[in-house]
Structure 1
Amino acid sequence: MKIAILGGTGNIGKGFALRWGQKHEIIIGSRDIDKAEAVAAEYNEVLETHGYKPVITGTDNRTAAEKAEIIVVAIRYNQLAPVMELIYPVISDKVVISVVVPMEKNSCYISPGSNYPRTPIESEEFNTEYFCFSIPEAGSAAQEIFTMIPESTELVAAFHTVPAKKLADLDMELDYDIGVCGNSMHSKELVFGLVRDISNMRPLDIGPLETAGMVESLTPLLINVAARNKMRDVSLKFI
């Protein structure tokens, strides 16, 4: 299959390209064509050193979406509207996978011995930062994207809990479960296959697109767990 990764020059995009580039044709999309081409060459070199013959190219986001059968939207939430407007004319009858998470960093002040956040009025109070899920008006980033695509385009939300660094490390097997949300079993089955293309990963059907907010909110949760418990790149496994 031809898979476009919009935001393919970022951390999570690199992991997708290296894992799926072993079996599929990958098109890296970016606002900067030169950067996309340079990164594509870098990914090809990495895969070649591991014994693969990859076909990874780089171009702008619209051209990448136009050439592909499956489009992975792996960009920041604040870039969503302009990118979706850009690719709208070329994504009819295709499958879009949203990896987008709307989240933000917050902070509060906690007094020693207190369970309650306070206003910073005493010197012994300290600041603690954490990430939280910033709920869009539509309920999730995926539901928002649904309002930005043609009727014939199928949308799936998935891969929100994959640690980017581990995904890009081809020496690691990822024994994780991946939640998949969507309204079409046709597109879900395609995504299940992409999950299984990554050794040891298991796809789980979470439900329709309306459940995507629950899955998206797991990303800031996992980041907070890792940061506050001195862990790295945590993910999920249902047992």
Structure 2
Amino acid sequence: MKIAILGGTGNIGKGFALRWGQMHEIIIGSRDLEKAEAVAAEYNEVLEKYGHMATITGTDNRTAAEKADIIVVAIRYSQLGPVMEMIRPFIENKIIISVVVPMEKNMCYISPGAKHLTVPIESKEFNSEYFCFSMPEAGSAAQEIQKMLPDNAELVAAFHTVPAKKLADLEMELDYDIGVCGNSMYSKEIVFGLVNDISNMRPLDVGPLETAAMIESLTPLLINVAARNEMKDISLKFI
């Protein structure tokens, strides 16, 4: 399959390219054509060291979407509107995979006298940063994307809980569960196959697209848990 990764020069895009590039044709999409081409060459070199003759190319987001069978939207939420408007004429009859998470960093202030604190706080107020899910009016980023698609394009939301650094580390086996939601069993089964293409990952059906908010909100949850408990790049496994 030809898989376009819009935002493929970013952290999560690198992991997808290196994992799927071993068996699929990958097109790295970016707002910066030269950066996309350079990054694609870098990914090919990495896979060559592991004995894989990959076909990874780089281009702009619009061209990547036009050439691909499957399009992974791995961009920041703030970029969603302009990118989707640009690629809309080229995505009819294609499967779109959203890994977009609308989240923001907030600050809370805790009194030094708070009984639940287990460490002494010398300042008058304890500054604590945390990430939270910023629910769009449509309910989720995936539902927002759905409104921007032509009627014959199919959308699936998945891969929100994959740690980017570990995904890009080909030395690691990723024993994770991946929640997948969408309104078409055909498109979900295609995504199940892509999950299974990554050794030891397990796809789980979360439900229709309306459940996307639940899996999108897991991303800031995992970031907060990791930051507060001296953990790195954590994910989920249902047992």
**What TM-score comes out, normalization by structure 1 length?**
0.97
SS in 2 for 1:162: coil
> Per-residue CA shift, 1:76-102, capped at 9, x if unaligned?
000000000000000000000000000
How do 1:1-239 residues align onto structure 2 when only pairs under 5 Å count? 1-114=1-114, 123-239=123-239
Question: How far has the Cα of 1:123 moved from its partner?
Answer: 4.4
Q: Is the 8 A contact 2:2 2:70 kept in 1?
A: yes
Structure 1 unmatched runs, 5+? 117-121
SS in 1 for 2:135: coil
> Per-residue CA shift, 1:46-78, capped at 9, x if unaligned?
000000010000000000000000000000000
SS in 1 for 2:171: coil
Give the Cα separation in 2 of the matches to 1:115 and 1:222.
25
Q: C-alpha root-mean-square deviation of aligned residues, in Å?
A: 1.1
Structure 2 unmatched runs, 5+? 117-121
> Per-residue CA shift, 1:105-125, capped at 9, x if unaligned?
000110123269xxxxx9421
Paired-residue identity, %: 82
Give the Cα separation in 2 of the matches to 1:3 and 1:48.
19
Query: What is the identity, as a one-letter code, of the residue corresponding to 1:68?
Result: A
User: Which of structure 1's runs of 4+ aligned residues deviate more than 3 A?
Assistant: none
Query: What is the identity, as a one-letter code, of the residue corresponding to 1:97?
Result: I
**What TM-score comes out, normalization by structure 2 length?**
0.97
> Per-residue CA shift, 1:207-235, capped at 9, x if unaligned?
00000000000000000000000000000
Query: What is the identity, as a one-letter code, of the residue corresponding to 1:226?
Result: A
Give the Cα separation in 2 of the matches to 1:131 and 1:115.
23
